[in-house]
Structures are given as structure tokens and as C-alpha cells.
Amino acid sequence: MTISSNKKPTACLVLSDGSIFYGYGFGAIGTTVAELCFNTAMTGYQEIMTDPSYAGQIVTFTFPHIGNTGITSEDDETADPFAAGMVVKWDPTDPSSWRAHEKITLWLTARGRIAIGGIDTRRLTRAIRQQGAPHVALCHNTEGEFDLKDLLAQAQAFAGLEGLDLAKDASYKQSYKWNEKRWTWPDGYVTEEAPKYKVVAIDYGAKRNILRCLASVGCDVTVLPATATAEEVLTHKPDGVFLSNGPGDPAATGTYAVPMIQTILAKSNIPVFGICLGHQMLALALGAKTVKMNHGHHGANHPVKDVESNKVEITSMNHGFTVDSQSLPVGVLETHVSLFDGSNCGIRMADRPVFSVQYHPEASPGPQDSFYLFEKFAAEMQKSLAA
């Protein structure tokens, strides 16, 4: 593996504190401004780039061999990338997977996403950890000509993610049905032909593999937009309600999501399950608070402890906000905590089948450590139907 042989940099990353990183651009030409984070996963760069939870963020990949599995449409979590850009150490690797049908460089170009290689990602990651997730401007110019003063001004003018509701933009505006199950060998993706449970999934920026996991435990899934009302949800007479992942500040999304969830809880006793932003929405609806983290959790190697069973799961995470465990009200129990920093990773109501987790059980980093959560949701619906 070699760093680009170009003598003249064709891309630069300008941080709001004035730091400048020069490198070699690939993907689209132009400039993008966003919050910068880092992800420690060794695989799954395509899933990361198409995860709606990364809206408004540029991702620094700490694993250097980006591009080695190529691109296949089966691995997209949504139709197009939501991450604003990509930062890597090495030049993109040529694909060496039998499933690949496209190079990452061409994929990024076609989808208007800017990337930069040849960066000291260790130095950049240390800066993010020490100073917090910075606001940055990323520019790709094949002539290597950069207006550094303007790029710095753009980075400093970026408002950041606090107070920003991005779920509306990440959500589908129309409802739709989902019955595709998880990928299995040798059949690939198959459909659920005999579902047992009617589930309404609220789309704050839902990943496809979450919906596949729901279908895989027997759910007939109807996906509704982020702004769906409680009345619209209950019209479908669901056996359970699922709250999806998504981007942005949970407090901003909560202005319309929290009243909906509170009404659902007040009018029914059906099971409710949330993941990531859905976890934060549920916590807010129950009376807790959320806070912005220094640099967030982004990776596929995060140990989480189930405090009720003492089991430790290796999880996938992607969040820049967290539920303040000290703000959990009486009757809401903390079920999971991060073994990295002790932050909250799960809650449940003490007397009702309502629970959520901060991490991504559908991402399978364990690889099956956390799939039990979907099975738990199905079991709660079965118990509710039998009552």
C-alpha cells in the first residue's frame, strides 16, 4: 500500500481552529462544510457512508485500507450517502471482493461526495479526542489551488449540529411497507412471507438492515415519516412501535417526536423499542435529558455491559449525543452502559414492555451479540397479544 505519488496536494482539510491538513482528493470536486468525527471500524465503510445518522458529518476512517471490498448496492443502508465526506490515510484500495461491482472512487464521484487521502489520521484522531469534534471545510481541487482564508471562514461559520433537526431531511416523506429479511447464504435477501406481528416503524433516518432485522423476527413492517402523529400510528393498529436511528440533535427532533411518543404510551400498552436516536427520543419522552458529547462514539468495537445480566456485548455505535443517565426519572431503569466511558447505552420502563438501546444491534459487530434485542421485541409483542 502506498501513499499517493502526486507531488502537489489536490485536497485540503481546514479546521475551525486554523489547522490545515493537505492531501490528495478523490470523489467529487468542490467544497463541503461539516462536523468532523472519526470511526474505528475495520470494515463497513459503505454502510457507514450511507448511514443517515452521519448527516452533517465528515468521517475520518482510522482503518487505512478503505476501498478493499469495493462497492455493492446490497450494502447500502440508504439509496445515497448521508455522510458529507471522507478522510483516509492511504489512497483508496482497488476492490478484491467477489461481490464488488464498483470502485469507491467512482461511487463517491457519482454521488457528489468529497474525499481526501494521504492524511495523518492518527494525528487528526488525537486532535478530535482532545479538542472535541471540530467544524471543518473539506476542499478537492484538481489544480491544487485553495483559498485558505475563505475555507477557514466557512469552517468557523458552520453552526454545528446542536439545535439542528436533521431527522426530517433523513426520513422518507411517504409511508411504505418492508418485508425483506437479513442476508443469508446462499439465498441472499429473502422476504418474510408469514409475519406474526404488525409493527409501525418511525423513520428518523432508518437503516435498511434494522428493518431487515425486524422482518427476520416475524414483523410486518409499516414505515412512517418522522413527523407522523400518534393518531396516524395507532390507525394501523400495531402490535408494536419501533423508533429508528437518525441524525441531528435529539432535543430538536424531540419537539415533534416526543409528544407523539408520549401519546402512544398514554393511549396504549403495546411494546415500544428504540435504537440510537430512537433511544434518545424515548428517553426524552419519559422525562430524561440528552447532552452533546465531546467527540461521540463511532465504531464497531465498543464494549457495552448489560447491567441486569452482567453480559458484555461488542457493539457498533454512531452517536454524538447521549442520554444523561443522572436525569432518568423514577420508573425508568438504566439497562446498558458503555465500558469505555460509562455513558448510558440502554433504558427500559420498570413496569411496561418499553425499552431502547443507544448502539446498533443490527450492525452485527459481535457478530450476533445483540440480535437478541429484536427477539426480545418480538417476544414482548407475542406476550402482549396473548394477554
Q: Which residues carry out catalysis? A: 276, 360, 362
Q: Which residue has the cell 471482493?
A: 97
**Residue 148 to residues 21, 138, 145, 197, 288: CA-CA distances in angstroms?**
11, 11, 9, 56, 43
Report the number of secondary-structure helices (H) and strands (E) in the chain.
10, 17
C-beta separation of 28 from 108 below 8 A: yes
Measure the CA–CA gap between 217 and 371, rounded to whole angstroms. 10
Using CA atoms, how far apart are residues 356 and 328, in angstroms rounded to an integer?
A: 13
Closest CA to 46 of 103, 94, 91: 103
Asked if 116 and 90 count as a contact pair (C-beta separation under 8 A), the reply is: no
Parallel/antiparallel/unpaired status of strands 30-39 and 57-61? parallel
* Mode of pairing for the β-strands spanning 272-275 and 290-306: unpaired
Containing H/E element for 354? strand 354-357
Strands in 176-178's sheet, in edge-to-edge order, are 176-178, 219-225, 197-203, 240-243, 272-275, 354-357, 344-349, 332-338, 290-306, 312-323
